Amino acid sequence: MEMTNSYCVVDLDALRSNYRFVKGLNPDKEAIAIVKADSYGHGAVRCARALYEEGVRYFAVANLDEAEELLDGLNGITVLILGYIDENRFYEVVQYNIICAVYSLEFARLLNEYSMKAGKVTKVHIKVNTGMNRLGFDPLSPGFEDKIREIVSMKGLSVEGIFSHYSTADEEDLSYSQRQRSIFEGAVETLKKAGADLKLIHISNSAAAMIFDCPVSNAFRPGLVLYGYSPLPGRKMQEHLKPVMSVYAHIANIFELRKGESISYGRRYTADSDRRIATVTIGYADGYARALSNRAYVVANGQKAPIRGSVCMDMIMCDITGIDGLRVGDTVMVLGPEVDAALLASLTDTIPYEITCDITKRVKRVYKEDR
């Protein structure tokens, strides 16, 4: 297969393995797979199809465009939009039979009015704010129960679920998560008393799904764990997971850098001895962060080749001194088992999510699976 300057191999067998692991920790709960942001950069439709083959029927995305792409590419699934939907696009919600997150009374009224005029009933999940302070009804506010009763009574809406989101389930101290869980449990009772027929009750993200159960829930939302990274402190349980994404690029040039000469924009690296340098076909336009300049490395012929100088838009320069057998056109590993997203994240003070999400469409996805 002909490859572009840089390409990304997505291992769908690894994805399946990761799903089986986290599902095994939650055997009695429905999985709502998080495939927003194009499955964290891995390719939403292909990843969702692999997970569908494992028995997943519910998927969650961030917006309407993501939902439509998924539903156009895969039959027999149910999609929940976790975030905002413009009222001018309610007709698409009805057309695709999408589940909406309802996190304000105003939104619920607008969606109900549209659904009734269209002669439809729209399925919704109530989003409650238990401490993330981003979206959701406040279960501790005096008017919470009244708002819920009004929504449950709306003829154009069917309240089929309730959910919230932990903000610190990936930290050692779980006391705040325990508080969130307690608030959520109270909110679930409020909805039940209001007459809601709750088919799905979910609060657990990847971290909580691995170590912190919520007994009242009957579903969980695996995200990062599906793509092979543990969000837990110290990367606990990482040995059970397989990173799904690997990124490769080609050597475009090999040259000798003399002692005292510098490399790339800003001359941020000056050789203290004669060095052998390879120019590699990936840069920040491909999602390889400029912050990795002089910090990260690629793997060439099984050996580390440190980045020298600033990451450019389309290229990086790597020190291959002492690595024998390399030629122009050879492939190097930029991201993968020997230089994974957690490592790159640690070098730039970010998280693995950002590393994989940032890999742009310019980097061709190649899907690998045995079946």
Instruction: Identify whether 265 is a catalytic site residue.
Output: yes
240 within a domain of the structure (yes/no): no
Strands 6-11, 364-368: pairing kind: parallel
Residues 150 and 50 in one domain: yes
Residues 142 and 78 in one domain: yes
Check which CATH number belongs to the domain holding 83 and give it: 3.20.20.10
Reported as a single tens digit per residue, the pLDDT across 168-198 is 999 999 999 999 999 999 999 999 999 999 9
267: left (phi over 0), alpha (psi -120 to 50) or beta: left
Instruction: Tell me the mean pLDDT in the region 224-236.
Output: 96
- DSSP assignment of 43-94 equals -HHHHHHHHHHTT--EEEESSHHHHHHHHHH-SS-EEEE-S---GGGHHHHH
- Domain end, chosen from 195, 226, 257, is at 226
Task: Give the length of the chain.
Answer: 371
Count of domains in the chain? Answer: 2
Rounded percentage of the chain residues whose pLDDT exceeds 90: 98
Return the pLDDT at 116. Answer: 97
Instruction: Tell me the mean pLDDT in the region 103-121.
Output: 98
pLDDT of 371 strictly over 80? no
Residues 151 and 38 in one domain: yes
**Helix extents (H) in the chain:** 12-25, 36-40, 44-53, 64-73, 90-96, 105-117, 144-153, 175-193, 206-211, 341-347, 352-357
Residues 198 and 282 in one domain: no
Reported as a single tens digit per residue, the pLDDT across 149-163 is 999 999 999 999 999
> Residue 201: pLDDT band by 50, 70, 90 thresholds?
very high
Return the pLDDT at 108. Answer: 98
59 within a domain of the structure (yes/no): yes
- Domain end, chosen from 226, 259, 287, is at 226
Distances (CA, A) of 327 to 108, 273, 307, 324: 61, 22, 17, 9
Token pair in block for residue 235: 């990367």
Contacts of 75 (CB under 8 A, 6+ apart): none
Reported as a single tens digit per residue, the pLDDT across 285-329 is 999 999 999 999 999 999 999 999 999 999 999 999 999 999 999
- Domain end, chosen from 165, 191, 226, is at 226
pLDDT of 207 strictly over 70? yes
Return the pLDDT at 4. Answer: 80
Residues 100 and 201 in one domain: yes
Return the pLDDT at 2. Answer: 60
Check which CATH number belongs to the domain holding 274 and give it: 2.40.37.10
> Residue 3: pLDDT band by 50, 70, 90 thresholds?
low
CA–CA gap between residue 45 and residue 24 (Å, rounded)? 24
Instruction: Identify whether 361 is a catalytic site residue.
Output: no
CA–CA gap between residue 85 and residue 242 (Å, rounded)? 34
Residues 183 and 256 in one domain: no
Residues 178 and 258 in one domain: no
Q: Which residue shows structure tokens 């919470």?
A: 144
Token pair in block for residue 113: 């009015």
Return the pLDDT at 370. Answer: 85
174 within a domain of the structure (yes/no): yes
Return the pLDDT at 361. Answer: 95
Residues 61 and 156 in one domain: yes
Residues 42 and 155 in one domain: yes
32 within a domain of the structure (yes/no): yes
Structural domain containing residue 113: 12-226
295 within a domain of the structure (yes/no): yes
Reported as a single tens digit per residue, the pLDDT across 32-91 is 999 999 999 999 999 999 999 999 999 999 999 999 999 999 999 999 999 999 999 999
Q: Choosing from 91, 117, 193, 265, which is the catalytic residue?
A: 265
pLDDT of 1 strictly over 60? no
Q: Choosing from 23, 29, 36, 123, which is the catalytic residue?
A: 36
360 within a domain of the structure (yes/no): yes
Residues 37 and 178 in one domain: yes
Residues 20 and 142 in one domain: yes
40 within a domain of the structure (yes/no): yes
313 within a domain of the structure (yes/no): yes
- Number of DSSP helices (H) and strands (E) in the chain, helices first: 11, 18
Residues 70 and 123 in one domain: yes
- In the DSSP assignment, the letter for residue 124 is E
